Structure 1
């Protein structure tokens, strides 16, 4: 087998700065690695808007956790149910097990599901500044050893039983949580909606309802109602050494809009499954280290604070790109005209 490793360059540009308030307060440029070059000016328009409004983009980190679901096999549903009750009752013993083996992992929740004679146990842990994939898998191995010792009537099924749920579009992550749950919101005065977005609050609200909410519903979207969260997420993930496959669940989010007062626009992006970290796999690459340092995510803070800052910056970036695209789509022809002009300017081949 030959070593054919090579560097695959992805065009990257720093956009902004974005102005954030709330759980993270800063003015910060953000890196976007993408072949879709119109994304840069689109996010840039939202970033400019964030610097013009009174409170910028307000971010709230609602929750943070990483999960792994282990699968046990019993002979009957009755045995599985009895074991499930016992595992939940022995939460403190399992919490001690993980704290003895890890400096940063902490058990915070256990959820169980039973299907026939199959027992799924979903462990949720905080993982400091790491996204936590390997950390929770290591913890789950320790948990399984304990549970199988307590219940010899159970058998090993799998270290991961898909009730986690990792890199798949599911409902469970939005309901029970997986990753960092972040909400970004902005209140745009009427004159800025007109001058900067070339639209009105009413037109943007109507489009969001008809396209993102109704359109996504008839398409069968799963806990998701947005125009293109995945675009900003992938560009940010690639620039900061994240596991890019996590945009599958990360892009499950909801855009919400209201008309306020005499024509002001309230707009928010809720991203309940942002799986990101500032330490761990990929973060030791020189370019990633430089990027995270420039983003202010290498500071001496309490465990988890740097990752929360990164998640907040990502959510704010998503809002910038989402609002800019929706505003463009309220004007017939604007989106395609902008793409053609911008892509020709960068020398894209046809």
Structure 2
């Protein structure tokens, strides 16, 4: 008797490669002002959390009803990479650190040999026993800068091992950077773009469009975002859900999505100004770029082009524009959620209605 071969897939075999696009919608327009970006534009959000689209859209509508919209301010920008040097004792490690700082200009020249866009901005260090952690901070043009910073650090590390006596190789990456981890050092010193997005919403819009009051939002921000996060042991962070908007726009524009770990560290500030609501979101670790790995894939290329981040501008300005747009998008979603949570039942009722409408289980 001859048996026919089984047509069932082998469970041990690798699954076929069938790329599944993440559902993406263009939300807006939202109104932005500031030196890095200005005007009205739609933003792409790639997410499976469908209630995020109307939530950000509500914040976008508010921005169009305010004369200045969402004002964005770029406070700082730098990409970091830390290296580890090992010494026989703390004294040698400390002496090496002093020598490294004394050679800053020479190290800037070494950095320029690694890339025509990388510039060494600053050097910081920490010494623990015989271990010397050196944190290099670079400007990286329109690139997010992970690889550029690592390449520059590799050149610098080679130079240090050759010219600094008493130290040996520890690691090209020493976790004092800090990449894709929530840390105090990033919140304090920054990694990527440090951007604040802010808006002043007149009282009548707070009441009619957000269905709340400035006092309620400010009170909730203190109790939830500040005290609640403190009790939870949050690290340099006080916000409701920056990660939601960051992941959605990171995926839509070809960013390294794992950077939402440090990117979602940020502080929401809300103030009742005689009934008007001042609301801001500060993101010290916003890591975005408009060139580099992932940015030339068709969907990301289209998104960056539509966002105006493929224009002929001075080096770095396209990335700064994207950072400003991203921060404004975060504010839209943060504002909408915080307003909803001032009203009992509103958040869950909205989620249930939207998810059922889109066919998702609840």
In 2, the alpha carbon distance for the partners of 1:340 and 1:174 equals 35
In 2, the alpha carbon distance for the partners of 1:77 and 1:349 equals 58
Tell me what 2:311 maps to: 299
In 2, the alpha carbon distance for the partners of 1:220 and 1:101 equals 40
SS at 1:75 equivalent: coil
In 2, the alpha carbon distance for the partners of 1:8 and 1:114 equals 47
Q: Any conservation in 1 of the 2:255–2:288 contact (CA below 8 Å)?
A: yes
Residue 286 (1) aligns with residue 298 (2): yes
TM-aligned CA deviation for residue 278 of structure 1: 0.5
TM-aligned CA deviation for residue 347 of structure 1: 1.2
Residue 97 (1) aligns with residue 116 (2): no
In 2, the alpha carbon distance for the partners of 1:173 and 1:349 equals 38
For 1:277, which of 274, 280, 289 is the aligned residue?
Answer: 289
Aligned ranges 1:38-187 → 2 under 5 Å: 38-187=51-200
**Unaligned ranges ≥5, structure 1:** none
Over the aligned positions, Cα root-mean-square deviation in angstroms equals: 1.0
TM-aligned CA deviation for residue 103 of structure 1: 1.1
Tell me what 1:250 maps to: 263
1:252-296 Cα deviation digits (max 9, x unpaired) = 000001111x30000000000001100001011011111100000
In 2, the alpha carbon distance for the partners of 1:130 and 1:161 equals 22
TM-aligned CA deviation for residue 147 of structure 1: 0.7
Task: Give the number of the structure whose alpha-carbon radius of gyration is greater.
Answer: 2
TM-aligned CA deviation for residue 153 of structure 1: 1.5
Aligned length: 349
In 2, the alpha carbon distance for the partners of 1:28 and 1:245 equals 26
In 1, the alpha carbon distance for the partners of 2:266 and 2:20 equals 30
TM-aligned CA deviation for residue 4 of structure 1: 3.4
Tell me what 2:22 maps to: 10
Tell me what 1:325 maps to: 337
1:67-95 Cα deviation digits (max 9, x unpaired) = 00000000010000000000001000000
1:307-338 Cα deviation digits (max 9, x unpaired) = 01101111000000001001001110000000
Residue 231 (1) aligns with residue 239 (2): no
TM-score of the two chains, using structure 2 as the length reference? 0.95
TM-aligned CA deviation for residue 8 of structure 1: 2.0
TM-aligned CA deviation for residue 10 of structure 1: 1.1
